[in-house]
């Protein structure tokens, strides 16, 4: 069994982004800019935003956080996004989800300029992903694909079971795998007999937020396990959706939590923002 070390790969990608940022600055006097909208006091969201800000600082991005109260109005967020859409110093706009219940999340995500949608959530970019055209791809599934590539795990023709059908992880993950010629099955909360599906899979990719959902008897020998879940156990430890201790005895590769997919998500956000900045520079040339 080999650990898929997302932390080490993320560091490598971050260094590559930092080098390209330095080149971009030297050649064009242009600094990539990322704006984040954070609504409310959710501790997990605040922690993510803080990690993203530190990562931006490390690679030399310009970054700004718009922190808004929980009771913010729809109009106030929309006006902020419109302002950022028009700001030439901002290449990427990230709306930290989830948003409070009074906010129409779909409307907010659709308002972000697709050329600045570094999270890949705008329907325009979703459509380009599904049709295998270049665009911005959601950071977590994109990070998973980079991790598989790094360890020479070819998904072509493999049976891949994606557990979780969210717009943020499950659906884009399935699209990326399909685009790479994998055979893809999507399971979700209404799937009857999850074990029947996971036992057939060469690669299991799970991200639903249920501790120990994937157990040893649900995994065939030699399977590749990608744990995208992140949960806090009763003892305060961060754990994934896979019973790591027991499943790791059967599989060929597995991602740890933390240190697997998580760091790759932030690395891909940096990569997407750099891509947006480079496209903006080309437009001006």
Digit-coded pLDDT (tens) for 69-102 = 999 999 999 999 999 999 999 999 999 999 999 9
Confidence check: pLDDT of 122 > 70: yes
Please answer whether residues 273 and 92 qualify as being in contact, where contact means their C-beta atoms are separated by less than 8 angstroms. yes
Residue 7 burial by CB count (10 A; 0-12/13-18/19+): exposed, middle or buried? middle
Please answer whether residues 145 and 181 qualify as being in contact, where contact means their C-beta atoms are separated by less than 8 angstroms. no
pLDDT for 279: 95
d(CA 170, CA 186): 8
d(CA 170, CA 168): 7
Rounded to two decimals, what is the model's pTM?
A: 0.95
- The question of whether 46 is a catalytic residue gets the answer no
- The question of whether 96 is a catalytic residue gets the answer yes
Active-site position among 91, 96, 171, 275? 96
- Range of weakest confidence among 18-27, 255-264, 275-284: 275-284
pLDDT for 191: 97
- The question of whether 82 is a catalytic residue gets the answer no
Active-site position among 119, 227, 241, 243? 119
In the chain, the domains with their CATH numbers are 29-113 (3.40.50.10860), 139-262 (3.40.50.720)
Helix axes 139-150, 170-179, angle to 10 degrees: 40
SS3 for the chain is CEECCHHHHHHHHHHHHHHHHHHHHHHHCCCCEEEEEEECCCHHHHHHHHHHHHHHHHHCCEEEEEEECCCCCHHHHHHHHHHHHHCCCCCEEEECCCCCCCCCHHHHHHHCCHHHCCCCCCHHHHHHHHCCCCCCCCHHHHHHHHHHHHCCCCCCCCEEEEECCCCCCHHHHHHHHHHCCCEEEEECCCCCCHHHHHCCCCEEEECCCCCCCECHHHCCCCCEEEECCCEECCCCCEECCECHHHHCCCCCEECCCCCCHHHHHHHHHHHHHHHHHHHHHHHHC
pLDDT for 236: 87
Confidence of residue 285 (pLDDT cuts 50, 70, 90): low
């Amino acid at each position: 069994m080999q650990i898929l070390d997302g932390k080490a790969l993320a560091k490598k990608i971050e260094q590559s982004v930092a080098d390209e940022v330095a080149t971009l600055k030297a050649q064009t006097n242009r600094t990539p800019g990322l704006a984040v909208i954070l609504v409310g006091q959710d501790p997990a969201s605040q922690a993510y935003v803080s990690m993203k800000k530190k990562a931006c600082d490390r690679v030399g991005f310009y970054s700004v956080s718009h922190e808004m109260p929980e009771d913010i109005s729809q109009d106030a967020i929309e006006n902020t996004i419109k302002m950022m859409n028009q700001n030439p110093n901002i290449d990427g706009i990230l709306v930290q989800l989830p948003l409070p219940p009074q906010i129409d999340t779909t409307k907010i995500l659709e308002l972000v300029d697709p050329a600045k949608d570094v999270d890949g959530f705008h329907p325009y970019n979703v459509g380009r992903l599904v049709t295998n055209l270049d665009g911005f791809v959601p950071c977590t599934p994109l990070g998973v694909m980079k991790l598989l590539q790094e360890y020479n795990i070819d998904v072509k023709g493999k049976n891949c079971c994606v557990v979780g059908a969210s717009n943020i992880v499950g659906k884009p993950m399935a699209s990326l795998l399909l685009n790479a010629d994998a055979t893809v099955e999507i399971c979700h909360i209404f799937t009857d007999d999850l074990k029947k599906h996971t036992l057939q899979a060469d690669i299991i990719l799970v991200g639903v937020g249920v501790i120990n959902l994937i157990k040893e008897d649900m995994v065939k020998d030699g399977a590749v396990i990608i744990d995208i879940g992140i949960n806090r156990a009763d003892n305060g430890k961060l754990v994934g959706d896979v019973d790591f201790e027991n499943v790791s005895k059967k599989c060929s590769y597995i991602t740890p939590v933390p240190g697997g997919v998580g760091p790759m998500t932030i690395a891909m956000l940096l990569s997407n923002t750099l891509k947006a900045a480079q496209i903006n520079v080309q437009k001006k040339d």
